[in-house]
Amino acid sequence: MKPPALPCLERAGLDGWMVRLFDSIDEKNLLWLTALAEECESVFGSTLVDLVPSYTTLLVVFDPFQTTPCEARQKLLDILATLRPAEAGTGGELHELPTWYDLQVGPDLQRVADLSELSVEAVIEAHCAREYRVFALGFAPGFAFMGLLDPALTCPRLDTPRQKVPAGSVAIAGQQTAAYPVVTPGGWNLIGRTPARLFDRNREGFSLLRVGDRVRFVAATREKFEAEGGDTKPADQTLEKGAAK
C-alpha cells in the first residue's frame, strides 16, 4: 500500500496540529490514520492531550506547557517519515443495529428509492448488505460518520434541513450513513430508525460507536423495534412540533 503522497501539517490554534494525509474518502485511509494515532500516543506520551481522527485527517492536540508547537511539529514530521499503515483486518468492534425501515420513521425512504431508481425494498436490502466503518465522531455527541455506501444509494442532503430529527433515526447523505444519537436538527435523508442507545451519559466513553468500529444495519419488524424500546412516533410529526416552537 502506497503512503500518502504529500502529508500536510496545518496549525490548529496554539496547541494543535492538523495532519492531512488524504484529499478523498477511502476506507483504506483508516489504516494510515490508525497507525498515525498509535505512533502519536507513543511518541508524545504525557504531552498528548487529544487525538481527533476524521476521514482524511488527524487533529493532534498537545499540552503547550510541556512542549512547543515547533517541537510538536518536528515529532510529527519524524513520525510521518517512517509511517506505515496498520495491518489490514477486521479490527474494531462489530455492532449490529436493528433498524425498522418504514416511511413512518423514514420519510425520505421513497425519495432515496426514486433518486436511486430502485424499489424501496431494494434500497433496504442494499443498505443492510454492507458492513460500514466508523470514520469519525462529531456534529452531535455520539454521532458517527460511517461509510462507504453502495454507490447506487448515493444521494444529496435535503435542501432544507429538518429542525428536529428523532433520536435513533437512520439516515444517508452522499457516500455516508449514520444514526442520530439524540434529537437534533439534520439534513440527511431519513430511511428508518434504530432502538439502539447510541449516546449514554452513564456509559464509559458515552458513545456506543468509536472510530474504527464496524456497523451492520439489520432490518427489523415493527414488533421487534417496539419490543427493544423503539419510538414509533412519525418523524414528520416531530418536525412539525419543532417548527411550531
73 and 98 fall within a common domain: no
Whole-number mean pLDDT of the chain?
A: 90
The domain tally of the chain equals: 2
| Any domain includes 142 | yes
Q: Report, as an integer, the average pLDDT of 222-231.
A: 96
- Residue 113 falls inside a structural domain: yes
Which of 53, 81, 109 is a domain's end point? Answer: 81
Amino acid at 212: G
pLDDT in tens, 102-149: 999 999 999 999 999 999 999 999 999 999 999 888 888 889 999 899
d(CA 19, CA 11): 9
Is the residue at 87 inside a domain? Answer: no
Give the CATH number for residue 37: 3.30.1360.40
Q: Which residue has the higher pLDDT, 238 or 31?
A: 31
- Kind plus residue range of the DSSP H or E element containing 73: helix 69-81
Same-domain pairing of 201 and 224: yes
Weakest-pLDDT range from 89-93, 184-188, 203-207: 89-93
What would the mean pLDDT of 194-201 be, rounded to a whole number? 94
Cα distances (Å, whole numbers) of residue 178 to 29, 114, 191: 19, 20, 10
Q: Which domain holds residue 48?
A: 8-81
Residue 242 has pLDDT above 60, yes or no: no
